[in-house]
Structure 1
């Protein structure tokens, strides 16, 4: 493989000229340097100059079984030879889709046994909300269509899911739905009012939620959507009892509870789905993607309660019962083969149990970095964590200097061969689930060194004393 500097420059020129990246800064996209990743192996990736990086973000929360897995590659290649595609519309299906539906139903909690396949997390969330609308309309209640989401949430980048997402920094020059989409405060215990206990804080959030429902009118609210832990919003872990309390409010007003497990599903918190074992709830609908194939194929799914499906199907179906939602590549045979192999390997190799073992160690080791003066908080759950920089001393909101601190740490991590995900004053971490304690120690060591170097640079620039 040619990894010379000339090759990197040529690739970079082509990329800048022709590709519009997700979340690209259009002010600098045509001039800013690129990271061109060309190869991956285990927990590491390599750029076009051959530099090796420990991947601290598993691509984008998704490469759970690690890079370069030969078993997975062989299954994908074999399926592409056998049946690469056939339409999933109407009564058509393929053998892999049928098998995967049964497997997902077996992994999901409670009576969540109905699976609708998509091609992404955005598609899964979009479809979950559309199902909610279809469900209530089929029951003769079309006015029940409003959706409640949360600030700092992320649910996708389609028109609907971007409107559901609550990260203010992501709202730029696009248009967003505002007639039926509402937001309540997302849980961020680090920035709760001073003197407020976690229990009081939880009660405050739940009370705000119920007031919002009453303000809109319970007869108009179809669903509430929540990530178990808000991922790209900053790995925001809710206070104890939060999801149970929010679910109870939803049950009171017949509002569907959509748990967005696009990030947390498939082992990130030590379980295939975290809803019941971690949060003690069985939602009405679960959305999943990312880790479903460990990133080896694009895929998503919506898993729906039998109780809901049975009320609008069979003899209970409305006069015109077509569920006109889906995608050309729903239940794609190659993606299904990858997902089935992914589940098989995760179960065979005890990946969830491994995460349960190393996850607490990961958080404990990261917590040692709170001794640094530029670190405000380290938080997370198992292999999902965040370093929040705070040099301003402001606990209400991050300031520009806090963001500068995080950017400095990110740059030093990159120099030392660790990829993290910077966002405002945050450094987000979600390594492949196969990472071991030695890999965790390496991550923490690089972060430790990078924070020290960033602190020195910030002091030299007069941002801290």
Structure 2
């Protein structure tokens, strides 16, 4: 074990099993222990400052010490620290948050079901669709189509929807009935001479062929993130969602929009569905819903789906699904205040305008020999690193260069995230132009050091 590991870090190693972490490597290096946060910055146990360039996990919209969110949690804890919404019970924060979400939704929605995380929300979305199809006499219509490189969570169902091998290797996943079509990344998978529109045609045809092969009577839904976050910040090619939705409507396949990362301003509009003209039947939100000050997520369903579920619950005597903390009053109160602040401070427009600065800064590195593609929209962006700029060749050992650069960025006080050899940026919605310039500067230092390291 590294002799510099503190006693607190040693306790972490002894007792805590970390997600998305090589446990054996963690035994050797230990954690970066974060002690406090202030605005877009976090501070480790030694007092070192870092720009949190990933909003924690794509989620802390309002920064790390918003007093109004803290006060909302404290007030609710003193008023009603917990109550449930089972068996005809309810409470004010849950009711008000559901109403606000329905009013904010990018398309008409009817009801909201609350969970604690995006993973649980996507799991719930699948259960709701299965339940509904049983209700309408289509018990065979249960298959779900997702995409390679998609990220939809880590429960058994949601990890099956996820299209990343790391979430499935060793877990006997994906489960039966979940299928994946191609990842829509034009830079990486577009054919020579193919336009973005032609590429979208090809992907829509692939989806249609998949539905036909499986049997339209067996395919219940298509799920997708408006833009793919954990898969590498992948923006859809031109007309992609228009063509995908046309295929889904043709074969009576529901559209689930996973807005866990995109929702509440991240793409420069309130929802990614507005950015890409998606008209979902089911909408899933989390993360920026409460700026992650409290764990909460939500599934929004349209009226047709609700009516069938309501009929089935009446026929069976109950809707047998729920979580102890569904619509938790403290989480709901914090989420309500969070959404009010986003609206009052016009942070959706702020994300759009500051996102222009972020992409402009990152595009200044577009000619660098290690940079293959710079992409983004709103306040989310990525820089894909390549071994050969002309051929787009990947590095022989994927992830090694990306990890090195992310480590050097952290050394210079910038927390970002390498997704293999793509460096992702997702700063809080409150980030200023000056802070974006600082992000650019610290990234430049890391990029320069990575280039020198590779040339040795």
Summarize the alignment of residues 189-200 of structure 1 with structure 2, pairs less than 5 Å apart: 189-191=186-188, 192-200=190-198
Partner of 1:418: 414
**Is it true that 1:437 corresponds to 2:405 in the alignment?**
no
**Is it true that 1:95 corresponds to 2:116 in the alignment?**
no
Of residues 364, 368, 373, the one that matches 1:372 is 368
- Give the Cα–Cα distance (whole angstroms) in 1 for the partners of residues 156 and 393 of structure 2: 28
**TM-score under structure 1 normalisation?**
0.94
Displacement of 1:400 in angstroms is: 3.2
Of residues 34, 39, 42, the one that matches 2:39 is 42
Of residues 160, 166, 173, the one that matches 1:176 is 173
Q: Is the 8 A contact 2:35 2:45 kept in 1?
A: yes
Could you list the per-position Cα deviations for residues 105-150 of structure 1 after superposition, in whole angstroms to 9, with x for gaps in the alignment? 0000222131000000001111111111111110011100000000
- Give the Cα–Cα distance (whole angstroms) in 2 for the partners of residues 318 and 249 of structure 1: 33
Q: From the superposition, tell whether residues 432 and 210 of structure 1 become closer, same or farther in structure 2 (CA, over 3 Å).
A: same
Of residues 114, 137, 152, the one that matches 2:134 is 137
Could you list the per-position Cα deviations for residues 38-94 of structure 1 after superposition, in whole angstroms to 9, with x for gaps in the alignment? 100001000011000011000001000111111110110110111011122121111
**Is it true that 1:20 corresponds to 2:17 in the alignment?**
yes
Of residues 201, 208, 213, the one that matches 2:206 is 208
Q: Is the 8 A contact 1:297 1:335 kept in 2?
A: yes
- Give the Cα–Cα distance (whole angstroms) in 2 for the partners of residues 7 and 407 of structure 1: 21
- Give the Cα–Cα distance (whole angstroms) in 2 for the partners of residues 410 and 87 of structure 1: 42
Partner of 2:383: 387
Cα RMSD (Å):
1.8
Aligned length in residues: 454
Could you list the per-position Cα deviations for residues 136-195 of structure 1 after superposition, in whole angstroms to 9, with x for gaps in the alignment? 110011100000000000000001111110012433211113420100001011112222
Q: Is the 8 A contact 1:118 1:329 kept in 2?
A: yes
Of residues 255, 258, 279, the one that matches 2:256 is 258
- Give the Cα–Cα distance (whole angstroms) in 2 for the partners of residues 126 and 401 of structure 1: 33
- Give the Cα–Cα distance (whole angstroms) in 1 for the partners of residues 394 and 20 of structure 2: 20
Q: From the superposition, tell whether residues 147 and 200 of structure 1 become closer, same or farther in structure 2 (CA, over 3 Å).
A: same
Could you list the per-position Cα deviations for residues 6-52 of structure 1 after superposition, in whole angstroms to 9, with x for gaps in the alignment? 99711100100110011110231211231101100001000011000
Displacement of 1:312 in angstroms is: 3.8
Q: Is the 8 A contact 1:8 1:48 kept in 2?
A: no
Partner of 1:242: 240
Q: Is the 8 A contact 2:260 2:287 kept in 1?
A: yes
Q: Is the 8 A contact 2:342 2:348 kept in 1?
A: yes
Question: Which has the higher mean CA deviation after the structures are superposed, 97-106 or 169-178?
Answer: 169-178
Q: From the superposition, tell whether residues 318 and 71 of structure 1 become closer, same or farther in structure 2 (CA, over 3 Å).
A: closer
- Give the Cα–Cα distance (whole angstroms) in 2 for the partners of residues 102 and 112 of structure 1: 10
- Give the Cα–Cα distance (whole angstroms) in 2 for the partners of residues 358 and 177 of structure 1: 39
**Is it true that 1:228 corresponds to 2:226 in the alignment?**
yes
- Give the Cα–Cα distance (whole angstroms) in 2 for the partners of residues 425 and 249 of structure 1: 33
Displacement of 1:323 in angstroms is: 2.1
**Is it true that 1:313 corresponds to 2:313 in the alignment?**
no
Q: Is the 8 A contact 1:392 1:402 kept in 2?
A: no
- Give the Cα–Cα distance (whole angstroms) in 2 for the partners of residues 433 and 127 of structure 1: 28
Partner-residue secondary structure (3-state), 1:371: coil
Question: Which has the higher mean CA deviation after the structures are superposed, 57-66 or 370-379?
Answer: 370-379
Q: Is the 8 A contact 1:391 1:402 kept in 2?
A: no
Partner of 1:336: 332
Partner of 1:463: none
Q: From the superposition, tell whether residues 423 and 326 of structure 1 become closer, same or farther in structure 2 (CA, over 3 Å).
A: same
Q: Is the 8 A contact 2:82 2:329 kept in 1?
A: yes
- Give the Cα–Cα distance (whole angstroms) in 2 for the partners of residues 401 and 438 of structure 1: 36
Could you list the per-position Cα deviations for residues 255-274 of structure 1 after superposition, in whole angstroms to 9, with x for gaps in the alignment? 11000000000110122222
Partner-residue secondary structure (3-state), 1:344: helix
- Give the Cα–Cα distance (whole angstroms) in 2 for the partners of residues 213 and 81 of structure 1: 52
Gaps of 5+ in 2: none
- Give the Cα–Cα distance (whole angstroms) in 1 for the partners of residues 392 and 248 of structure 2: 29
Could you list the per-position Cα deviations for residues 263-309 of structure 1 after superposition, in whole angstroms to 9, with x for gaps in the alignment? 0001101222221x311122101000000000100000001111221
User: Where has structure 1 moved over 4 Å in runs of 4 or more?
Assistant: 5-8, 392-397
Displacement of 1:236 in angstroms is: 0.7
- Give the Cα–Cα distance (whole angstroms) in 1 for the partners of residues 359 and 129 of structure 2: 37
Partner of 1:58: 55
Q: From the superposition, tell whether residues 113 and 7 of structure 1 become closer, same or farther in structure 2 (CA, over 3 Å).
A: farther
Partner-residue secondary structure (3-state), 1:398: coil
Gaps of 5+ in 1: 461-465
